[in-house]
Each structure stands twice: as structure tokens, then as C-alpha cells.
Amino acid sequence: MKLWGGRFTKPTNQLVDEYTASIQFDKKLAAYDIKGSIAHVAMLAKCEIISEDDANEITAGLKAVMEKINNGEAVLSEEHEDIHMNVEKLLIDEIGPVGGKLHTGRSRNDQVALDMRLYLRDALMDISQLVANLQEALLKQVKENKETVLPGYTHLQRAQPVLFAHHMLAYVFMLQRDVERLGGSWKRVNKSPLGAGALAGTTFAVDRQFVADELGFDGICENSLDAVSDRDFVVEFLGNAALISTHLSRLCEELVQWSSAEFNFIELDDAFCTGSSMMPQKKNPDVAELVRGKTGRVYGNLIGMLTTLKGLPLAYNKDMQEDKEGMFDTVETLKGALALFAPMMETMDVKQKNMYEAVRNDFSNATDLADYLVGKGMAFRESHAVVGEIVLHCIQKNKYLLDMTLQEIKGFSSIIEEDVFAYLTPEAVVNARNIAGGTALNRVEEQITIAETNLTET
Ligand code: ARG
């Protein structure tokens, strides 16, 4: 017999039970569901809607049910559809008809919205911490390789040299905004929907604020229809998760490129790579590839949730049961990626010499030569053209700017002096970008300080 069977004359078709049930996945919410129920019961007693004795019995029963779920003794069934009704059924089995008082003044609609918020609160905390751990790992590499220069790219063409530390710090700042976004959405997640009932509120004189306080919420959802029918807080999380994945995925792409023989800028630790079943020489950056690959499902979950919500009339609709799997999947996908990422970055070997060699053997100091000519009085547009000719000459002669003789380079402009060579070394080129946020060593040191302060403040 269904808990709601009174109005029905027939049992549900078994396929309908299977199709509409969510217990297979919403059992993940069991602990949150029971925590919410215990707070609800305490409120019912405090407001004298049920007796203290009944409340105590129900609370003890709920704890027993939790125990049985945890140790695998409890049978969770599709017949009872979802975690909420399974728990209620188990409670009634445990303590008898008094368990039937638990659902007084409550609906599964406000209950499920509550569970989702409780779950997401924990997920936000966990994920923020994991992102912070990754920032720490990146900062460790930053500090260990503070003066390492590597080519900076635009269009994946060598552009201007940058400090490796500067490059890594870019990710630290991206991740900082990610943590801030998670913190911002916390405010909107951390409100209690309980008391909204099915949609319109409840006839019982419940104390919504009391339940909110019991559960550590900052306040209550102001409008009962909104409380049970919106999942914008889930969308917000999925959107923030999508951005975190984007940032991770871009870093992954660089790790994959950098660990190729073509770049040879880094080596990932053996513990974070895998081999090939056929080719004995292979060492593949599988973790980085898979984190990049899993970005697809994280984006998919965001689009899926948005699409499910679009066009739903107020208030609750069964469609909304589709809010769970994508959210769980995103939380687990992100946690899995982040847990691996921090130690993978921490153990990464930075091939300082190869990075330096790459910078030495390219034209990424060409802008500096143009700037040098400007310093000697030439207009930038003219110096750009002169240096363009010098670069073309070097390409034809198979050499780089620093390989030229003074006489050779003077052939393009007589204002060039001996001091040009000191101007064009990788170190000089990097340190010349001495403006706030630039790649000069002292500016990178400023960024380290800012990043570390951010980390301790969030
Ligand atoms: N399993 C449902 C869900 O996840 C719980 C709410 C069901 N409410 C209802 N009126 N059928 O959305």
C-alpha cells in the first residue's frame, strides 16, 4: 500500500513505479533528509503541533532509520518512490503509527528543496577547499620556479617571454574568482524553504525561522511558491562548476602540450600518468586529458538543468526530479578532478632549461627591439617595420636577434648601439615589463603576495 494510496482503486503499474522512482539516486540525500526531518519535528513540538513525547519518539526513530540505512540493513524500494517516502515508511515500520505525524505541515516539495540545499551547502564547502588546495599547489610551483622564463604565446605562436610563475599565477587568479563565485552563491543556497508546504504554505502555525536556525540557514525563502519551484541555486552551482571545469581544462590542455616531445617543458610525475597497452615507450598524461574530457559532462549538466526548468509553470512539477543526477554528477566529477589535480601539479617537474632554450631561440624579443628604437627617438610604427625587416633577414640567415653582430644590425638602423644586446636577453625582456600585473620578477612577487592574501581571506 502506497503512503498516498487512499484515493486510488488500483495498484500502480510496475513500470510506472520504476519510471517515476528516484530512490536509485536520491538515496544520496538520506542523511540530509533525516537531518531536516529532525529539525522539523523539533519545531512541531516547540509550536505544540505535536506532543513532546511524540517528537522524542519520532526523533529516536529517525536516528534508528539512519543507522539502518548506513549499515545497509534498511531496504530502500522503488515502490516507495523516493528517499522521502522511503524514510517515512521505514520510520513507521520502526515506531508504528506515531511516525505518521512526521509529515504534519510539510510536503515532499519543500522537503526535497531543503535536502538539495543542505547537500549543496556541503558540496560548496568541499569544492571551495579543494580549489584552494589546488591554488596552494600552483603557488608552490610558482615559488620554486620564480625566475624561470618560458615563451608566452598568442595564437599558439611565440609572442613575448613571460615568467613561468606569472603564467601559473594566471590560473591561481582564475581559481580565486571561482572560489569567490561559489561563496557568492552560498548566500542564495543558504535559505530554508521548509514551511512552504506543497506550494502555498501550511495551515499549521509552524515557525519557519526556528527550523532555519536549527539547520544553520541564514534565513527563509520569502515566497512559498518560489521556495518549492525554483532550482536557480542548482543552476548557479552548475554554472560555477562549468567555469571551474573550463579553467581546469585549459590548464590540462597546456599540460598535455607541454609534456609532449615537441614542447618538452614539463614532466608529470609517473604516479599521475599511464602507459600504453601496445607501445612500450608511452607515458600518457591521461589525468589531464580526462579532466579536460569530463568538462563536456559538466557543461551538459548545466544545459540539461536549464532546459528542464525552461517552460515549467509554477509551482512544483515532477520534471524537477531531474535536478538531482546532474548535480550529483557535477559535484563528484569536480571533486574527483580537483583531488587529483593538486598533487599532480605539486609533483610536476618544470624543465627550466628547456623553457629557457625555447625563449633564447625565438623572436619573442622582437617587440623589445622595436621599443628600444622608440627609446632612441624613432616612432613606434616605423620601428615596428624596421624590426620586421630585421626578423625577415634573420629567418633567411637562420639566426636570432641575439646572434647578430652590431654591424649587421646597424645596417637596418644606425641609431642601434652596443647596448641593444643587453636589452634583448630573456631576463631583460621579462624585467622590462615592470608595471603592476606585468611579468617582471618584482611584479610577479607582488602578485604572489596578493594571491596568498586572497587565499587566507577566503
Ligand atoms: N522525488 C521528488 C523529487 O525529487 C520529490 C518531490 C515529489 N513531490 C511530488 N509532489 N510528487 O522531486
Read off the pLDDT of residues 33-78 as tens digits, 9 standing for 90 and up: 999 999 999 999 999 999 999 999 999 999 999 999 999 999 999 9
pLDDT of residue 425: 96
pLDDT of residue 235: 98
- CA 334, distance to chain mean position in Å, is 6
Report if residue 332 sits inside a domain.
Answer: yes
CA of 222 to the centre of ligand 1 (A): 21
Q: Complex ipTM, two decimals?
A: 0.97
Query: Of all helices (H) and strands (E), which one includes residue 177?
Result: helix 164-189
Total domains in the chain come to 3
Q: Where on the phi/psi map is residue 99: left (φ > 0), alpha (ψ -120 to 50), or beta? A: alpha
Between the CA of residue 456 and those of 136, 289, 317, 450, what are the distances in Å? Answer: 11, 31, 43, 10
**Same domain (yes/no): 394, 315:** no
Residue 267 pairs with which residues in a beta bridge?
349
Residue 150 pairs with which residues in a beta bridge?
162
CB 209 within 8 A of CB 220: yes
Low-confidence ranges of the chain (pLDDT < 50): none
**Same domain (yes/no): 54, 193:** no
pLDDT of residue 346: 97
pTM confidence score: 0.96
Which residue in the list 155, 185, 260, 277 is annotated as catalytic?
155
CA of 1 to the centre of ligand 1 (A): 18
Number of Cβ atoms within 10 Å of the Cβ of 243:
17
- The C-alpha cell that represents 150 in the structure block: 618560458
**Could you list the residue range(s) of the whole structural domain that residue 445 is in?**
358-457
Boundary residue ending a domain (304, 333, 357): 357
Pairing of strands 349-350, 266-267: antiparallel
Of 128, 82, 89, nearest to 316 (Cα)?
82
Residue 192 pairs with which residues in a beta bridge?
220
Q: Is the CB of 108 under 6 A from ligand 1?
A: yes
pLDDT of residue 1: 75
**Same domain (yes/no): 314, 366:** no
Active site residue 107: no
Report if residue 210 sits inside a domain.
Answer: no
Question: Please, what is the average pLDDT of the chain?
Answer: 97
Report if residue 73 sits inside a domain.
Answer: yes
Q: Where on the phi/psi map is residue 48: left (φ > 0), alpha (ψ -120 to 50), or beta? A: left
pLDDT of residue 293: 98
- CA 140, distance to chain mean position in Å, is 20
Q: Name residue 212's amino acid.
A: A
Q: CA angle, corner 300, sides to 299 and 306, nearest 5?
A: 95
pLDDT of residue 3: 84
Q: Is the CB of 348 under 6 A from ligand 1?
A: no
**Same domain (yes/no): 97, 246:** no
Q: What is the CATH number of the domain that holds 16?
A: 1.10.275.10
CA of 44 to the centre of ligand 1 (A): 22
Q: CB burial class (10 A; 0-12, 13-18, 19+) of residue 25? A: middle
Whether a cis peptide bond, with omega within 30° of 0, leads into 315 is yes
